[in-house]
Amino acid sequence: MEDEAKKLGDNLKKIRTDKNITQTELARLLGVDKSFVSNIENGKSNSTLSTMANIAKVLEISIDKLLK
């Protein structure tokens, strides 16, 4: 499970930075604390499907792009 969390975090960070969005801005758009985004990106947090759907919606991508 750790590998999947790390992969999700790496993908999220790449997509976020490619879109020039900071962790702080993404956290604000999601209505969560910046540390929540940081924990996902660092593979320290297992995200729910609902969380992944919200992230995908905010970043205007499909969920599968987060999981590649």
> At 29, which CATH number?
1.10.260.40
Domain containing 26 equals 2-67
Contacts of 24 (CB under 8 A, 6+ apart): 34
pLDDT of 3 reads 87
Please give the tally of structural domains in the chain. 1
- In order along its 68 residues, the chain shows pLDDT tens digits of 568 899 999 999 999 999 999 999 999 999 999 999 999 999 998 889 999 999 999 999 999 999 88
Extract the runs of DSSP E, i.e. beta strands, from 1-68.
Answer: none
Using alpha carbons only, give the angle 48, 52, 55 rounded to the nearest 5 degrees.
140
pLDDT of 45 reads 87
Tokens 């992230």 belong to residue: 55
Q: Report the SS3 class of residue 33.
A: coil
